[in-house]
A and B are shown apart, each in its own frame.
Chain A
Amino acid sequence: MDTVALLLTLRLALVTTGILLVLAVPLAYWLAFTGSRAKVLVQAVCALPIVLPPTVLGFYLLVALGPRTAFGRILTHFLGHPLAFSFAGLVVGSVIYSLPFAVQPLTAGFAAVDRSMLDAATTLGSGRWDRMRRVVLPLSRGSLLTASVLSFAHTIGEFGVVLMIGGNLPGATRTLSIALYDQVQDFQYAQANRTALFLLAICLVALMLLYSLRTESRPRSADLV
């Protein structure tokens, strides 16, 4: 078991999930409660990474954000190095790639919150942030967990983007899925099998966790906790 690749993959998944929760909560909140006409477009854009081949994302990160474009040069200057071949580049790619897996459960969860709870909170003097923090989020704990677990598991399995912009650097961009690919190419089938089984196990455990907690925390609108 390639422990360097394993730790890197876990680190990437954790960092990506953390960033996604910070980005996705306000975005999902807006999507759940807005009446704006832009909602449809925003939802479609957020869902794009599900249907787009990961190589499209990799292509844009490599070329459109590469040092030859103006935007890429600004980014390089800001980061100190080009986006490609860096952990930061992988994080950017993973955040975009796993975005729908965070936004969609959160949007559904927020939208399912009983409006009368929110109305009651408003009449008691609660502002928008207060309502989000003390009413919506606690009632959507299940969705928060779903979003976290799905983003985490989805990032663990990322391959196409990493293949296109990673550069296969051990400790920085050589994730477990890339290591598996290398092992297969190198005809090391026993090792490849171990890596593959491990990846399979992580994903299975993640999904089982998700489903076991889902049945426990079915939202009951009478509870305020």
Chain B
Amino acid sequence: MFSPLRRMLLVSALLLPAMLMPAQTKTLRIAAAADLQPVLPTLVHNFEKSSGAKVEVSYASSATLATQILNGAPYDLFLAANLAFPQKVVAANLAEESAPVTYAQGSLVLWAHHGLFHHGLTMQSLTSPTVHRIAVANPVHAPYGAAAMAAIQSLGLKPALQPKLVFAENIAQAAQFGQSGNADCALISKTLAITKTMQQAGRFVAVPVSTYSLILQGAVVLRNASDKQPAIDFLRYLQSPAGRNLLATGGLVPPAQ
């Protein structure tokens, strides 16, 4: 039925995925919070060069990653955007450390489209009738979303702003809602706001730190990691002066001691 040529093509097509798989090198699998998306690739690249390990990163909201890890996802290192989610992993006996390691401190900013406000941009500007939609990360899934709601609440703006809020799956989607024009403003992380795409589409201003609790980003090495050493090394690198400098250029400062 199949000519020899067709048979050969069919067999090679079926074997292609296997042939394309690289030889098994040590792969460090990192589960990273969405707010790290702009800044982690550089750190990963440097680490790959210096250590020879291969690194794969999965970005999602901290809640998504915690849920996956608690249900057996094969990550080696969990870099979250708060301490509560890694704490859950510790409580489930899935972490190497007895408490999350704080690797950075993030900050919340208010981002708005260019041309939306010609005078100063403040949280109060959000009450203006020209603002129709404000994108915020889901406060249950994303620590920056929780911070955003806390800031709105403590400034007494919740009644005025509630009808305008839309909830994104994670902080990156909140930024994307803003950048695509579907939302006029977004409450996002500084890391995302300083990226070229976001700077081209709008401008941002820091949300007063007194209005939300410190965003301390915690990390844990996972007990079920296939090889813990690269994970430990990467975490150490994040906390080294070189790592801290790179994080700082991405808006993530060393945690206030």
Question: Which A residues have a C-beta under 8 Å from some C-beta of B?
Answer: 62-63, 66-68, 72, 81-82, 84-85, 163, 165, 167-169, 182, 184-187
Interface contact B141-A85, CB-CB below 8 Å:
no
Interface contact A63-B180, CB-CB below 8 Å:
yes
Distance of A107 Cα from B148 Cα, bound (Å): 51
Interface contact A84-B182, CB-CB below 8 Å:
yes
Which 3 A-B pairs give the minimum distances between C-beta atoms? A167-B166, A168-B167, A67-B181
For window 179-218 of B, CB contacts with A under 8 Å fall at 180-183
Residues of A within 8 A of B177 (CB): 84, 167
Distance of A81 Cα from B182 Cα, bound (Å): 9
Which one of B63, B176, B181 has the highest number of Cβ atoms from chain A below 10 Å of its Cβ? B181
Residues of A within 8 A of B166 (CB): 84-85, 167-169
Q: Is B153 an interface residue (CB 8 A)?
A: no
Residues of A within 8 A of B107 (CB): none
Q: Is B239 an interface residue (CB 8 A)?
A: no
Main secondary structure of the interface of A (DSSP, over half): loop
Distance of A186 Cα from B139 Cα, bound (Å): 10
17 new A-B contacts at CB < 8 Å, known A185-B64, A186-B63, A187-B88: A66-B182, A67-B181, A81-B132, A82-B181, A82-B182, A84-B166, A85-B183, A168-B138, A168-B166, A168-B169, A182-B138, A182-B140, A182-B141, A185-B138, A185-B140, A187-B67, A187-B70
Q: What is the CB-to-nearest-CB distance from B230 to chain A, in angstroms, rounded to a whole number?
A: 28
Residues of A within 8 A of B141 (CB): 182, 185-186
Q: What size tier do the contact residues of chain B reach?
A: 20 to 34
Q: What is the CB-to-nearest-CB distance from A193 to chain B, in angstroms, rounded to a whole number?
A: 14
Residues of B within 8 A of A63 (CB): 180
Residues of A within 8 A of B168 (CB): 167-168
Q: What is the CB-to-nearest-CB distance from A60 to chain B, in angstroms, rounded to a whole number?
A: 12
Distance of A81 Cα from B70 Cα, bound (Å): 40
Distance of A168 Cα from B137 Cα, bound (Å): 10
Choose one: A81, A163, A186; the contact of B140 (CB below 8 Å): A186
Q: What is the CB-to-nearest-CB distance from A162 to chain B, in angstroms, rounded to a whole number?
A: 11
Q: Given A81-B132, A186-B63, answer yes or no on A163-B169 (Cβ-Cβ < 8 Å).
A: yes
Residues of A within 8 A of B183 (CB): 85
Residues of B within 8 A of A72 (CB): 181
Q: Is B133 an interface residue (CB 8 A)?
A: yes
Distance of A167 Cα from B176 Cα, bound (Å): 12
